[in-house]
Structure 1
Amino acid sequence: MAISIDTCAAMHIGDRSEQQDRVGMFPHPSRPGCMIAVLADGMGGHSGGAIAAEQVVLKAKQNFSAYAPSSESPVEFLREVIDDAHAVIKLTRFTSEADPHSTAVVMMLRPGHADWAHCGDSRLYHFRNGALVARTPDHSLVEELLRAGRITPEQAEVHPQRNLLLSCLGAEAPPKIEVGGTTALQAGDAFILCSDGLWAYFSDEEMGRILFENDARTAARQLLDLARARAEGGGDNLSMAIVKVVPV
């Protein structure tokens, strides 16, 4: 079966005074069927978060334009994007009054393959026909407590330190970078990169169903509208990048 790619990126400022999320999707300049999706959730005083998130997207785009599959593996490339963005974000401390930090999640799609890397609590989900295949683990205190069995999922949702990250870009410590991937892509596969301003309002089952039942643009609109309604006036910035594998 011949397959094609259906994509959409979407953002909303939520109920914040400034948009500090950034998202981008870019085709490779010379490799047909090869693209990258990147999402960053910035943190920092003044405009520091926006500066940091912008650097993540910029480095991903710049590095991807020079990516050569014959001499660099996808995993090496993805790690380098996050490491390079981390270095640039740290340098911006010397040129601004802000204290910039950011999460990062980056996915490369090429014929038959998808690879990704992340740091922080911005997530990548992989669904197949609506069922969850994989999800990136958060680098957060709450995620560590959950894994240790010290709190329940219900307690995690209302934990007072649920936004405390254990690793991010721009910190003194090097970012913790985790990678993943899948082969044998097929029609029915769907990927979504999203910030916590979106995923906090959905179960895996509901998100997978919305992605399965709709094209990328319609799914993005439904997810955005539902997240805004459920935030009840207290929503964070939210952003997403959706990539669906569909039959031609």
Structure 2
Amino acid sequence: MTAPWGASDGGDRADNQDRWDAAVTKNRRAQFAIVADGMGGRPDGARCAASAVEAAASYLALAGHKRNRIAAADYAMRLPSYVQRHLAQARADGSLHPESAATFAAALVVGDIAWLITVGDCRCIVVRNGDVVEATVPHNRLATALRDGEIVPDQRDRRDLGSAVTRWITPAARLASRTTVIAVPLETNDQIAVVSDGVGEVAGPALVARMLDDLRTAGEEAAARELVSYARRTSAPVADNCTAVVLRVESVIP
């Protein structure tokens, strides 16, 4: 497996509350990518995102020991609850504000399946030969309005609804029913991008797919940096925190 890679930029915000991690497991049977985005307007956003990523990375580092799809599926499904318990413990010991929150996304590749896990408007996009195979839907009011057939008349309405997140991860509440988990069958050389909303709202799945395909030979680091750079340039002078992690499935191990 080639190592996944991420990049992040604070944009035009006072601080960067995005955090990310990515790795290939020690036995090289699995790899993962994680992005969390601290929610603005709440205390400890950056710390909540960092704590969520730290917990998720320690949990997913053991995913390579899951030798079959049923075990891997169960492991992926338990990730959000594990992260929430970690945040709750941080709240209990006083290291995390109880009203803090973050949005969260992770992609876990075990064998020939990618597990996409999201809470909020961070997104996972699976790409094959420049086409979108699967893309998670943001948990926000815009996605709900479009799903329900509501009319969204102008660009400002779309921006306002898109920034109104409806799900998040927090130390103060359970979230089992508020999580999306999708299983995606993979092929060799598939690519996966995990992005914060600062990238996902600017570069939709189709554009992300084209950019990843164009930069395939340049590698995952170059692709992640270009996604972030594109979002930063396109959103200026009011760019949000922008984060992207890219991994490639070098070979499929059933």
TM-score range for the pair, normalised by the shorter chain length = 0.7 to 0.9
Within 5 Å, give how 1:191-206 maps onto structure 2. 191-206=192-207
* CA distance in structure 2 between the partners assigned to 1:241 and 1:33 by the alignment: 19
Contact map agreement 1:124 1:135 (CA 8 A) in 2: yes
Opposite residue 119 of structure 2, the aligned amino acid is C
Which protein has the bigger helix share?
2
SS of residue in 2 equivalent to 1:166: coil
* CA distance in structure 2 between the partners assigned to 1:18 and 1:126 by the alignment: 29
**Range with bigger deviation, 142-151 or 237-246:** 237-246
Contact map agreement 1:22 1:57 (CA 8 A) in 2: yes
Match of 2:8 in 1: 11
* CA distance in structure 2 between the partners assigned to 1:238 and 1:98 by the alignment: 25
* CA distance in structure 2 between the partners assigned to 1:150 and 1:219 by the alignment: 35
Contact map agreement 2:7 2:244 (CA 8 A) in 1: yes
Which protein has the bigger strand share?
1
Opposite residue 183 of structure 1, the aligned amino acid is P
Deviation of 1:173 (Å)? 5.3
Match of 1:63 among 59, 69, 86: 59
Match of 1:32 among 28, 33, 36: 28
Opposite residue 181 of structure 2, the aligned amino acid is V
Match of 2:17 in 1: 20
Opposite residue 22 of structure 2, the aligned amino acid is M
Match of 2:140 in 1: 140
Matched, 1:235 2:239: yes
Match of 1:244 among 231, 245, 248: 248
* CA distance in structure 2 between the partners assigned to 1:82 and 1:239 by the alignment: 20
Contact map agreement 1:8 1:243 (CA 8 A) in 2: yes
Match of 1:177 in 2: 179
* CA distance in structure 1 between the partners assigned to 2:132 and 2:23 by the alignment: 25
Q: 1:210 to 1:62 in 2, by over 3 A?
A: same
Within 5 Å, give how 1:85-96 maps onto structure 2. 85-93=83-91, 95=94, 96=96
Contact map agreement 1:34 1:110 (CA 8 A) in 2: yes
Q: 1:15 to 1:173 in 2, by over 3 A?
A: same
* CA distance in structure 2 between the partners assigned to 1:63 and 1:145 by the alignment: 34
Deviation of 1:64 (Å)? 2.6
* CA distance in structure 1 between the partners assigned to 2:205 and 2:58 by the alignment: 33
TM-score in terms of structure 1 length:
0.86
Any unmatched runs of 5+ in structure 2?
none
Aligned residues between the structures: 242
Match of 2:209 in 1: 208
Deviation of 1:6 (Å)? 5.7
